Amino acid sequence: MNKPRNGLKHLRPIVRYISSVVLHSVFVMNLFSQTSTFFMSPLFQDNMVLQQQCDVPVWGNGIPGTNVTIQTSWGKKTSTVVLSDSIWTTKVMTPKAGGPFQISIRHGNSLIVLRNVFVGEVWLCSGQSNMEMPLEGWPPSDTIMNSASDIEQALYPSIRLFSVMRAYEATPNTICVGSWVECSPIDARSFSATAFHFGKMLYATLKVPIGLINSSYGGTSVEAWMSTEGLKSFKEFSEPLKKLEESQDGFRSLTQWLTQHPVINLRNPDPLHKWEGLKFGDENCSARKYNDSAWQEMNLPTLWERTSVGEFDGAVWFRKQVIIPSAWIGKDLQLQLGAIDDMDETYVNGHEVGKYLSAGFWSTNRLYKIDRAIVQDSLLQIAVRVIDYGGGGGIWGNGTKMVLYQDDLNSGVSIEGNWKYLPVAEYRTNMFYVFGAEGNVFLQRPKSPVDFSPNTPTSLFNAMINPLVPFAIKGVIWYQGENNVPNPSLYKKLFPAMISDWRQVFQNRDLPFYFVQLAPYDYGQNSASQILREAQFQTLSVRKTGMAVTLDIGNPKNIHPADKESVGKRLAYWALAKTYGKKIAYSGPLYKSQKIMNGKIVLTFEYAEKGLVIKKINGEHHFMIAGKDRVFKKAVLKVDGSKLVLSHPQISKPAAVRYAWSNVEEGTLFNKEGLPASSFRTDNWEE
């Protein structure tokens, strides 16, 4: 299904989602009022960046047999013919970096003119939430260091940004939704912080236009980003891939059913108000006397994915009647609901008492005041409309925090347990499909033949990478791994296979691929993220790869560290040194070998020619040493230039060393250039 491409023959007519694709500012003229089905891949728009000095593919759809001619303002002209499957493709040689340029594409009597096009360096930026995390952060808990000043100063007209809208598909799609914009304070705030700082560093050094394509999706596993072809060799995925193939008719039935419903297309340019004022034919669901007898019940707190609802993003109402003590009548009360993923509007007796209608508050405890004027008798009707736009959804926090009380939380009335619920709209690819509140429409929804989500193998590749192929890119930066911590041994094989997979589909076996190693974070007692970090370290054996270590800039209590500037810069160091040949330090010390002599272990490192530096944290250096008994003890540590000498008075015959070998231990080893070392172990003992 995703075999190596010859040109663009892998494409099929682009019909899915085309109504939701907006080609911003593309000038389209129908010279002779001819009805046309001609359009280009959404990557080709005003403000785009093309890879310099490269034979770049250009493609789209058209009327079979019709000539397509491309003329550029840098003096190149090419033509092709639309094939019988409505696909056309050609290539255009680009000049050295520069611009702005103009590209004219003629199809029969139709003409598209792309304006303000630059030629420079194009990078694909992908991964999960730490790559997705925007420059403005996800306050209040997930913030970006120096965000306000970086946004204020983010005026770089020669840096262009393209964000692929979140989507996942059961089969390879050929279209994505997104638009190229000039980097400005308005648009940079919602763009990947890591990618922004990476591009900013490249631009400052190379002095050429930079194009950044952000295709990332939070909370996702590496196998979701791989093609069917890339996963075929893994027996672990043979059954899921088989089920996906057998379930295509079911997926089509669900899609057809959804498209029969009214659609709300979210294209509000202001993300702070994107989720406000949405009407799903559910205006009466908050009313005290609304008849919810036909609604089903759900035991809260929980994520609705863990119930019969299954994988579902969208809007769901929850209702519960609560009897309060008569002494509370006419008094101000407090309503605590716990955490809600992602957003909510909460009502008591039909009156709104509070809401969170912006992203980033999925783990925030909801605590709302109920005005005494609402509390007129001993019966309170609580109604909550929850909107979830990805991942888990629902009222999911600790049940002890679901309480209605007056003054003392400990003497409150518990509201955990059974609630009535009704899904009123489903969210997919930036659109709501509206069911409304009448008729319990959700119960008519065709059941998905398999549990299908953004973590389903191949789902993100199909929707968010395949549509980009074979756009000409210089390289890839990648920030992912958290979701694969439970199975690091499989990740050790999957991650190199994914790199090979992408190089194959982009038809570039030398495609640079630079990635971020996991930062310290408390994944729980049964997790060992250091083993996944080791798998990432070992991936450096794959040619044309590089690893940005973040052992010193993490936050063991927050999986989304705030210092994305350092992450972006460290990725840029690898690109500048290894892709562009700049003479700069680009890696911290990487363990190379150990030698046991005179009751001590001597460690040698790559990228430590100028010497090593230890920066203790609370007096700890996080180096452990063990003998053949495998009992690790805190090492006595000495720096000897570019080597480390370790020992312990109670270990006469040392055998192995481990450094920062836990979920949460932070980096203390650096080279003289100030870049941190990766965690490592010199043994291969079982954990």
Residues 289 and 308 in one domain: yes
User: What count of other Cβ atoms lies within 10 Å of the Cβ of residue 202?
Assistant: 25
How far apart CA 547 and CA 574 sit, in angstroms, is 8
Residues 571 and 598 in one domain: no
- The reported pLDDT for the residue numbered 639 is 97
Lowest average pLDDT, out of 145-149, 355-359, 672-676, goes to 355-359
Least confident of 58-72, 261-275, 526-540, 669-683: 261-275
Q: Is residue 179 part of a domain?
A: yes
Is the pLDDT score of 271 beyond 90?
no
pLDDT at residue 3 is higher than 60 = no
Contacts of 686 by beta carbon, 8 Å cutoff, 6+ apart: none
Q: What is the predicted pLDDT for the residue at 27?
A: 29
* Co-location of 180 and 217 in the same domain: yes
**Is residue 15 over pLDDT 90?**
no
Identify the band that residue 687 occupies on the pLDDT scale cut at 50, 70 and 90: low
Q: Is residue 263 part of a domain?
A: no
CB 324 within 8 A of CB 380: yes
Mean pLDDT calculated for residue range 363-382: 96
Is residue 78 located within the same domain as residue 170? Answer: yes
CB 428 within 8 A of CB 453: no
Mean pLDDT of the 367-395 span: 95
- The answer to the question of residue 76 being in a domain is yes
Total number of domains in the chain = 3
In this structure, are 565 and 615 located in the same domain?
no
pLDDT class of 71 with cuts at 50, 70, 90: very high
Tell me whether residue 31 is exposed, middle or buried, using C-beta atoms within 10 angstroms of its C-beta: 0 to 12, 13 to 18, 19 or more: exposed
Q: Please give the distance of CA 87 from its chain centroid, rounded to a whole number.
A: 30
Residue 444 burial (CB < 10 Å; 0-12/13-18/19+)?
exposed
Which of 398, 419, 442 finishes a domain?
442
Mean pLDDT across the stretch 387-398?
Answer: 92
249 inside domain: no
Instruction: Give the pLDDT of residue 453.
Output: 87
- The pLDDT, as a whole number, for residue 8 is 36
Q: What's the mean pLDDT in 596-607?
A: 97
541 and 672 belong to one structural domain: no
Output the domain CATH number for residue 172.
Answer: 3.40.50.1110
Q: Which of 92-96, 307-311, 471-475, 602-606 has the lowest mean pLDDT?
A: 307-311
pLDDT of residue 108: 87
Q: 399-428: string of b/e by CB count within 10 Å (b at 16+)?
A: bebbbbbbeeeeebbebbeebbbbbbbbbb
Domain CATH number, residue 302: 2.60.120.260
Q: Are 88 and 58 in contact (CB under 8 A)?
A: no
pLDDT value at residue 430: 81
Q: State the pLDDT at residue 363.
A: 87
The DSSP-derived string for 143-154 is: --TTHHHHHHT-
Mean pLDDT of 525-551: 96
How high is the mean pLDDT of the chain? 92
Has residue 236 got a pLDDT over 80? Answer: yes
Smallest CA-to-CA distance from 161 within 113, 199, 128 is with 199
Q: Domain of 393?
A: 269-442
CB 427 within 8 A of CB 388: yes
Tell whether the model's pLDDT for residue 9 goes beyond 80.
no
Q: Mean of the pLDDT values across residues 335-350? A: 96
Strands 643-647 and 600-606: antiparallel
74 pLDDT tier (thresholds 50, 70, 90):
very high
pLDDT at 117: 98
pLDDT above 90 (res 526): no
Within a domain: 539: yes
| Same structural domain, 645 and 521 | no
SS3 state of residue 70: strand
Which residue type occupies 407? D
Task: For 424-473, write each residue's pLDDT tens digit.
Answer: 999 987 889 999 999 999 999 998 778 888 999 999 999 999 999 999 99
Give yes or no for residue 11 having a pLDDT over 50.
no
Average pLDDT on 594-608 reads 97
pLDDT average, residue stretch 327-352 = 96
Domain boundary among 544, 579, 614: 579
Q: Which of 44-53, 365-374, 390-399 has the lowest mean pLDDT?
A: 390-399
Is the pLDDT score of 553 beyond 50? yes
Q: What is the pLDDT of residue 12?
A: 34
Mark whether 24 and 96 lie in a shared domain: yes
| Residues 112 and 31 sit within 8 Å (Cβ to Cβ) | no
- In terms of average pLDDT, the best of 8-17, 26-35, 645-654 is 645-654
Reported confidence tier of residue 23, pLDDT bands at 50, 70, 90: very low
Is residue 587 within 8 A of residue 606, CB to CB? The reply is yes
Q: What DSSP designation does 391 have? A: S
Whether 254 is covered by a domain: the verdict is no
Task: For residues 92 and 94, give the distance between their C-alpha atoms in angstroms, rounded to a whole number.
Answer: 6
Question: What's the pLDDT score for residue 109?
Answer: 86
Residues 594 and 668 in one domain: yes
Q: Is residue 112 part of a domain?
A: yes
Choose one of 442, 476, 509: the last residue of a domain. Answer: 442
**Longest CA pairwise span in the chain (Å):** 90
Are 26 and 173 in the same domain? yes
pLDDT at 410: 79
Residues whose CB is less than 8 angstroms from the CB of residue 239 and which lie 6 or more positions away in sequence, other chains included: none
If asked whether residues 40 and 186 sit together in one domain, one would say: yes
Together in a domain, 193 and 282? no
Parallel, antiparallel, or unpaired for β 67-72 and 77-81?
Answer: antiparallel
Summarised one tens digit per residue, pLDDT across range 128-171 is: 999 999 999 998 889 999 999 999 999 999 999 999 998 899 99
Is residue 77 one of the residues assigned to a domain? yes
Cis status, amide bond into 140, omega within 30 of 0: yes
CA distance 625 to 295: 61
pLDDT given for residue 225 in this prediction: 98
